Amino acid sequence: MPDRGAYDSETVFRILDEGLICHVGFSVDGQPYVIPTGFARVEDRLYIHGSAASRMLRTLAEGIQVCVTVTLLDGLVLARSAFHHSMNYRSVVMLGRATLVSDPAEKIKALEAFTDHIVHGRWNDIRLPTESELKATDVLVLPLAEVSAKIRKGPPKDDAEDYELPIWAGVVPLTITPEAPIADPRLNSGLEPPWYAKKYSR
């Protein structure tokens, strides 16, 4: 539905910055693959990372066409008819070709972005990657050049004659609700969860 489309950077970036998982779609020798993975946005670039031995990353680094999607589910839309049931959501679709990040400074910046995208403020508290860990990790970058967002919000949209039916209709909102942090069993005694773990939110 064209009225659900959005193409401005502000809308796209807001969705990407809230999302946690992307799905990377690509094809190899006629076989399609869709792989879920973490990601991070830095300005107008999307970064994904993983093991240097990852088949997906090695394949994408060859410069094949890729489609990356991010979806946020906001609610279940219960209509009066089966036909008009839906979901409220915000999604982004990105097309392009990813390239391997070879510059060490950009690679570190991307890894910092990954960490703080999951939990803002975490990078400053952790041990930084060693040289061997950096070698074992590949980072790919996808320019956000061909991007679109799609959004559905609001109540059900039933047929006019169905609004008089004695059937409950509305929206069941869905949110990510963090629970209390659970300490690692091997945690040193006396260490309290940091503020970003106790007050986590997207």
Q: What is the band of 5 on the pLDDT scale with cuts at 50, 70, 90?
A: confident
Reduce the secondary structure of 17-84 to three states and give it as a string. Answer: HHCCEEEEEEEECCEEEEEEEECEEECCEEEEEEECCCHHHHHHCCCCEEEEEEEEEEEEEECCCCCC
User: Do the beta carbons of residue 120 and residue 32 sit within 8 Å?
Assistant: no
pLDDT tens digits for range 129-141: 999 999 999 999 9
The predicted-structure confidence for 89-145, as pLDDT tens digits, reads as follows 999 999 999 999 999 999 999 999 999 999 999 999 999 999 999 999 999 999 999
Eight-state DSSP code of residue 190: T
The answer to whether 86 touches 38, Cβ cutoff 8 Å, is no
pTM of structure: 0.92
d(CA 131, CA 127): 12
Tally of structural domains, the chain: 1
* CA–CA separation, 32 and 20 (whole Å): 23
| Amino acid, single-letter form, for residue 193 | P
Domain of 143: which CATH number?
2.30.110.10
Domain membership of residue 118 as a residue range: 2-198
Question: In this structure, are residues 21 and 69 in contact, taking their beta carbons and an 8 Å threshold?
Answer: no
pLDDT tens digit string along 149-199?
999 999 999 999 999 999 999 999 999 999 999 999 999 999 999 999 999
Nearest of 18, 8, 38, 24 to residue 149 by alpha carbon:
8
Instruction: Read off the pLDDT of residues 16-58 as tens digits, 9 standing for 90 and up.
Output: 999 999 999 999 999 999 999 999 999 999 999 999 888 889 8
